[in-house]
């Protein structure tokens, strides 16, 4: 994957927009990742339009995220869930429409910056009122079940994929251009390091903790996915402690790998994509989007997108680069 830039050619502007000749700019690595983020927001919006979201079950799901959280976090969640319960049609339609508009805005170049900024605000709000901060404050977080909360990863991606000055200095990977290499590496360390920590918290260390977590996802899934789910649960049966330690070691290696030489960074990114894919398919059942009732594809898919934003890039002279 390139560093998010492409070589300029006649009829193409440096900001990645179409020229006066009508030629469309060729998407670069950053733009492809932005489009991946846009597609995920669109998917969220479509999922939010499901009939289940117009029932009391959705409001109850929101209220359930308050459980275990400190009062200062839980009370606003309960309040918001109460409003949703009394105005389901209006509130849910608004939620779904906002997410569809965010996806369209990120995909449409003229609206890219406002849409990314709005997505950060919306992500933080939903992380609190819709996910209860991902359970990170009361020991209920697990990288297998979706820690640190899928929606906060949308905000992280918006920051890492922010449009940049095409004439700025080269960067070792796409994510480093908007915030700088040191900050980008620090964000990677915090994300994957926290996942390593969550992997060995009490809820994951018990003999049946991970087994029960995975097995509970099979209900309502298509036969092939339920079979994958049950097979994974069988492997984890009575091996919760060992599995949590192995997972923590892998996540810890990913966290520190970003600070190594180029070959080590590539290995860390590839391992991150692989672990994210295994978690998403085997532990999260694609976020439950095929079973109905899911509001997003969960964290596995988003973790993979984050990882790709750190793929080491070749250095291209600034004079030859354009960016989205």
SS3 string, 254-318, reads: HHHHCCCCHHHHHHHHHHHHHHHHHHHHHHCHHHHCCCCCCCCCCHHHHHHHHHHCCCCCCCCCH
pLDDT in tens, the chain (324 residues): 444 443 433 333 333 333 333 334 567 899 999 999 999 999 999 999 999 999 999 999 999 999 999 999 999 999 999 999 999 999 999 999 999 999 999 999 999 999 999 999 999 999 999 999 998 988 778 999 999 999 999 999 999 999 998 777 889 999 999 999 999 999 999 999 999 999 999 888 888 889 888 888 888 889 999 899 889 999 998 888 999 999 999 999 999 999 999 999 999 999 999 999 999 999 999 999 998 889 999 999 999 999 999 999 865 434 334 444
Q: Which residue in 2, 276, 316, 11 sits closest to 168, CA to CA? A: 316
Q: Which residue in 115, 43, 74 sits closest to 296, CA to CA? A: 43
Q: Are 10 and 324 in contact (CB under 8 A)?
A: no
Q: Are 135 and 147 in contact (CB under 8 A)?
A: yes
- Crossing angle between the packed helical segments 181-199 and 240-257, to the nearest 10 degrees: 170
Helix (H) or strand (E) holding 36: helix 29-48
Full-model pTM: 0.88
Number of H helices, E strands in the chain: 14, 2
Phi, psi for residue 322 in degrees, rounded to 5? -125, 160
Domain assignments of the chain as residue spans, ordered by start: 26-314
Q: Are 44 and 296 in contact (CB under 8 A)?
A: yes
């Amino acid at each position: 994957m390139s560093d998010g830039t492409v070589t300029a050619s006649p009829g193409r502007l440096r900001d990645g927009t179409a020229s006066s000749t009508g030629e469309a700019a060729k998407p670069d690595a950053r733009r492809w990742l932005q489009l991946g983020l846009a597609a995920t927001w669109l998917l969220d919006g479509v999922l939010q339009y499901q009939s289940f979201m117009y029932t009391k079950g959705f409001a109850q799901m929101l209220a359930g995220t308050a459980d275990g959280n400190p009062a200062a976090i839980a009370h606003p969640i309960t309040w918001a869930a109460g409003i949703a319960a009394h105005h389901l049609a209006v509130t849910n339609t608004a939620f779904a429409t906002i997410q569809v508009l965010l996806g369209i805005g990120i995909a449409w170049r003229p609206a890219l910056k406002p849409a990314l900024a709005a997505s950060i605000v919306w992500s933080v709000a939903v992380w609190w009122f819709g996910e209860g901060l991902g359970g990170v404050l009361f020991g209920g977080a697990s990288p297998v079940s979706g820690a640190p909360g899928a929606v906060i990863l949308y905000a992280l991606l918006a920051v890492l994929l922010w449009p940049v000055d095409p004439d700025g200095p080269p960067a070792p990977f796409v994510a480093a251009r908007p915030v700088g290499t040191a900050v980008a590496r620090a964000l990677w360390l915090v994300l994957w390091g926290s996942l390593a920590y969550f992997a060995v918290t009490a809820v994951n260390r018990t003999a049946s903790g991970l087994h029960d977590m995975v097995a509970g996802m099979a209900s309502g899934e298509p036969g092939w996915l339920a079979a994958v789910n049950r097979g994974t649960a069988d492997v984890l049966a009575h091996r919760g402690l060992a599995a949590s330690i192995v997972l923590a070691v892998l996540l810890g290696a990913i966290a520190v790998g970003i600070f190594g030489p180029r070959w080590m960074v590539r290995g860390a990114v590839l391992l991150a994509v692989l672990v994210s894919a295994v978690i998403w398919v085997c532990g999260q059942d694609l976020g439950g989007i095929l079973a109905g009732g899911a509001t997003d594809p969960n964290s596995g898919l988003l973790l993979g997108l984050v990882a790709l934003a750190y793929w080491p890039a070749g250095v291209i002279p600034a004079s030859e680069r354009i960016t989205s």
